[in-house]
Amino acid sequence: MTSPGEEKIYAILRPMRGTTKKMLADGLRSGFKVEVKCPPDFYPEVNVETRFLPGALASEPIRTQFFTPKRDDGPPILYIHGGGWSMEQSDDYFMMLKKIAAMNGSRIAAINYRLAPENPFPAGLDDCAAAYLWLRENAGDWGGGKNLVVGGDSAGGNLCFALALRLKQEGAPMPSGLFGFCPLTDMIFEQYPSYIELANDNFIYDAAFAGFVRGGYANCNQWKQLLVSPMYGDLRGLPPTFLVAGAADPLCDDNRAFAERLKHAGVAAELHVYQGMPHAFYCFSGVIPEEQDALERLKTFLSPLPPGEGRERVAAQE
């Protein structure tokens, strides 16, 4: 509750500006927007369709892009995009998701959860949970299956692991596998040497960006909660996990520490660290060999996992 004096000050400021969080979010959304046109011959065998799934709020359905490859024998995937919980959308990962779908024969449902700071924690996670449960329960409707793999990058990787911990808490069916590209798993990121060394003026992921998205997504008294920082959760019983990190990413030591915690908890986890690679290097399709290698290793990880509903795995064909 605001005091009368405080409300007088706000009454003067409101017509002039929004909250600092909103102004920063608008600026970052504009600054980070890159128009990338997918060439017509880029994995044309993958069909893309947009549909709306029931969200955590009945009034806000989840816009979802479904990627369906012609060779359709791999594990179905729920993909959660990055962008600091506050920007980007599945469209920004269009080329990467087409490539993953084609390489693995996997149907992918790429969701667009509610964004912070307008919708802080747990809104985005609530949408992820709603989408996951709908995709499992309506496998025949989209050709997926109950053997869902959940993956994501950066903040989406955070939501991927938070979702798994939430499902564990609720006794709900777990994914058949998890994967994270450069995920942020610990909101107390200042404790990691790679962050201290690299975050001051990092071109892609710097301290100013990290501080804003953290504060926009969750309040400081929530930063050590396991559904905000999966690093602090009980990781026992999580499904097989695949992690990719870049040695030039301030989050690299976060990723190393999370991989160690997973292994200590008895989870079958693998981490691949790419020297000289910054945050989000996996998005640059066809530009660098490290991107191709990361997706090839993901293919190897996904290969033994169960295929989708009513589909049998066949030998991968080039």
User: Is the CB of residue 160 less than 8 Å from the CB of residue 184?
Assistant: no
Cα separation, 169 vs 4, whole angstroms? 43
Q: Is residue 125 part of a domain?
A: yes
Q: Is residue 309 part of a domain?
A: no
pLDDT tens digit sequence for 121-158? 999 999 999 999 999 999 999 999 889 999 999 999 99
Report the domain count for the chain: 1
Residue 185 lies in a domain: yes
Q: CA dihedral defined by 125, 130, 133, 139, rounded to 10 degrees? A: -120
Note whether 307 and 147 are within 8 A (CB).
yes
pTM for this model (two decimals): 0.92
pLDDT tens figures, 266-298: 999 999 999 999 999 999 999 999 999 999 999
CA-based radius of gyration for the chain: 19
Q: Which domain holds residue 89?
A: 18-302
1 in any annotated domain: no
CA distance 292 to 175: 25
CATH for 104: 3.40.50.1820
In order of 178, 249, 269, 299, 305, the CA distances from 256 in angstroms are 16, 12, 11, 21, 24
Task: Give the Cα separation of 179 and 152 in Å (integer).
Answer: 7
Judged against a pLDDT cut of 90, whether residue 23 lies above it is answered with no
